[in-house]
Structure 1
Amino acid sequence: MARQAGVSTATVSRALRGLPNVREGTRERVRAAAAALGYVASPSAASLASGRTRAIGLISPVVSRWFFANVIEGAERTLRAQGFDLLLYTFEVTRGSGRTARVDPDVLRRRVDGVLVVGLPLEAEEVESLLTLGAPLVCVGWGGSGQATIRLDDRATGRAATEHLLGLGHRVVGHITGAPDDVSAWSPPVEREEGWREALAAAGLRAVESLRVHGGFDVAGGRASMHRLLVQHPEVTAVFAASDEMAMGAVLALRDRGLRVPQDVSVIGVDGHDLGELVGLTTMAQPVAEQGGLAARMVLEMIAGATVDPEVVVPTRLVVRTSTGPPPVFS
């Protein structure tokens, strides 16, 4: 087959396995030669010969949340196109009380060629334990310090969201962040909160601690935290929530209290959730599925021995809808 395609046997192997660093024209010649010879690859034989499983492990705290589901779908679609399977391992996190257990790499040992970690803050010992698998590791969002990571510029995102509200004339801007134990200096909720603080400071305003409440990154948490915020600060005219789901919960809480959005209180989130347009939510949108696909391509490149960027920062963009507007005018 290699002779017929005019390439080396190594190139034939890489082309048929869908690995990167093979020109598309070369890949097509190899496929044509394989078809002419009636060659059908045996996955089990290939795995035995190469020591590869052609599977990528993906560790995520949840599957049902919008962000995680879309990242997983993007990764799975990309891996499937390259002939790889995705092995999903969900890792339970109890909101507000931290982990129920540490990540256990043994569930993936000898079963995967690479590992993706989605939205899970890893402690140093956990990163080290995953590295004992001898497989490339790529993190999306939260992850392990020093490992290949795909993330947002969360601080700039929080700053831009808050600046949008300030630009409309708001001067009492609350913030709904994650859980109380989200304290890692490089984590998305901490960085988005810092962006909120920086924007307020630049406008000559103080980020009063009681203006920040914890919403746990879901609708129910956002709703409850918005109620708490209004009890403490009924003068709030705008809220920046660190996720769209918490922002949607905040909108529900405002409706519970007979307040109008945005006439009484403006709300902005982060994500670009599919339901955001339905509820008119202003948001800092991020390319979520694309991050999953990019992470999958990175881990495949690392498996092939390529060097990848240690950190890829993806952009967010302001999408203005009807949930934000000027503050109310009091006579």
Structure 2
Amino acid sequence: MELEKREPTIKDIAQKTGVSIATVSRVIHGLTGYSDKTRELVMKAAEELGYRPNAIARGLVSRRTQTIGVLFPQVSGSYSAELLHGIEEAANERGFSIIVCNTAREGERTMKYLRVLREKQVDGIVFASQFVLAAYEQELAAMRVPVMLVNTLPERSDLSYIKVDDREASREATEHLVRLGHREIAMIAGTPDDPVAGQPRVDGYRDALEAGGIAYREALVACGGFCLDGGRRAMERLLADAPSLTAVFAASDEMAAGALAAALERGLRVPDDLSIVGYDDLIFARMVHPPLTTIRQPLSEMGRLATERLIARIKGEPYSDGSIIVAHTLVKRDSAGEPPSGPNLNIND
């Protein structure tokens, strides 16, 4: 009878690489005291041999579980996927796994998942795209693990964050429409009372209007909840209430896509009759017709940077402390152009 194949061990990796058993163990358990070249050699051999470290045993040695908790609210699937790609790539490269928690719209399940992650003894937390309330900060402090925020802010603590300047980015998006000659510019905003990506983007829109000598009008701001259907409904309302508008700035690409669909259904040509600018530069911004002019957030890079910093803190390695404002980019495509020469007369009643 054929014997069952033996599972490879740390000793097998040491024999294959010529590295000492002690050093192989340090690499496998995420400890320090070896070169990057040695780490690459050991990890490559481990993969070739099919070595699978026991997470419980590894945790007993290093007092770490090599896992990171990632908390997302219910936001755009494309948005989350791009941010998560950077997080996962950086974690995998350093031998960490991730546990992803969807905290639902408005963070309804945040406290539940923070407690779950505490029970799982994760080594660190990436908290993404949801305002960090004081109650969350208390729970995070009780966990006594490093925390990095991505595209969000804490209510009262000095937790480090990585994000773009939403107010400045929205100002630049709206200024682009002003420079093209538009005066009747509406906005599809996100979630009301959102201090992270909601209000700052409205403030940037308002700043650009005032700088261009255009009066801000509350009636030209409609909320779309950062989703496709919300953007469609907001656009329908704006077209009904302000038929003379010639441009729209949407605070997310999903809402911009919804606005584009609503405009086309009403018989409007984009950008000949109506210009639309989005925010995020998700992959479908290049795939809709016409392709969206939008503000690019380097989401994957932001996720990677947050995770690299988090793991450095977990391992006690040197890292640059403090928060980071990353650069945004205005990406000009085909959905924004000069305003029509006369009033917008192409809306089908």
Smaller-chain TM-score bracket? 0.7 to 0.9
**In the TM superposition, what whole-angstrom CA distance separates every residue of 1:171-230 from its partner, at most 9, and x where no partner exists?**
111111112242x2xx12221111111111111111111111100001100010011112
**Which residue of structure 1 lines up, in the alignment, with residue 62 of structure 2?**
50
Q: Where does structure 1 lack aligned partners over 5 or more consecutive residues?
A: none
Gap change, CA 1:323 and 1:204, over 3 Å in 2: same
Residues 61, 92 of structure 1: 8 Å contact kept: yes
Residues 60, 120 of structure 1: 8 Å contact kept: yes
Residues 114, 299 of structure 1: 8 Å contact kept: yes
| 2:125 is the counterpart of 1:115 | yes
Deviation of residue 324 (structure 1)?
0.4
CA–CA separation in structure 1 for the residues paired with 2:33 and 2:253: 38
**Which residue of structure 2 lines up, in the alignment, with residue 194 of structure 1?**
203
CA–CA separation in structure 2 for the residues paired with 1:330 and 1:230: 16
Deviation of residue 273 (structure 1)?
1.3
Alignment equivalent of 2:173, drawn from 161, 164, 168: 161
Gap change, CA 1:61 and 1:19, over 3 Å in 2: farther
CA–CA separation in structure 2 for the residues paired with 1:128 and 1:178: 27
Residues 285, 292 of structure 2: 8 Å contact kept: yes
Alignment equivalent of 1:254, drawn from 263, 268, 283: 263
CA–CA separation in structure 2 for the residues paired with 1:246 and 1:229: 13
Matches within 5 A, 1:91-106: 91-93=103-105, 98-104=106-112, 105-106=114-115
Deviation of residue 18 (structure 1)?
5.0
Matches within 5 A, 1:258-273: 258-273=267-282
RMSD of aligned residue pairs (Cα, Å): 2.7
SS at the partner of 1:176?
strand
| 2:304 is the counterpart of 1:293 | yes
Larger radius of gyration: 2
Amino acid at match of 1:321: R
Residues 247, 274 of structure 2: 8 Å contact kept: yes
| 2:313 is the counterpart of 1:302 | yes
Gap change, CA 1:33 and 1:284, over 3 Å in 2: closer
Gap change, CA 1:21 and 1:283, over 3 Å in 2: farther
| 2:250 is the counterpart of 1:238 | no
Deviation of residue 73 (structure 1)?
2.1
CA–CA separation in structure 2 for the residues paired with 1:264 and 1:14: 64
SS at the partner of 2:175?
helix
Deviation of residue 27 (structure 1)?
3.6
Deviation of residue 40 (structure 1)?
8.1
Gap change, CA 1:70 and 1:29, over 3 Å in 2: closer
**In the TM superposition, what whole-angstrom CA distance separates every residue of 1:133-171 from its partner, at most 9, and x where no partner exists?**
111111111242421111011111101101111110001
**In the TM superposition, what whole-angstrom CA distance separates every residue of 1:273-325 from its partner, at most 9, and x where no partner exists?**
11111221111112111111111111101112245432111211111111000
CA–CA separation in structure 2 for the residues paired with 1:34 and 1:85: 17
Q: Where does structure 2 lack aligned partners over 5 or more consecutive residues?
A: 1-13, 344-349
Matched residue pairs, number? Answer: 318
CA–CA separation in structure 1 for the residues paired with 2:103 and 2:138: 17
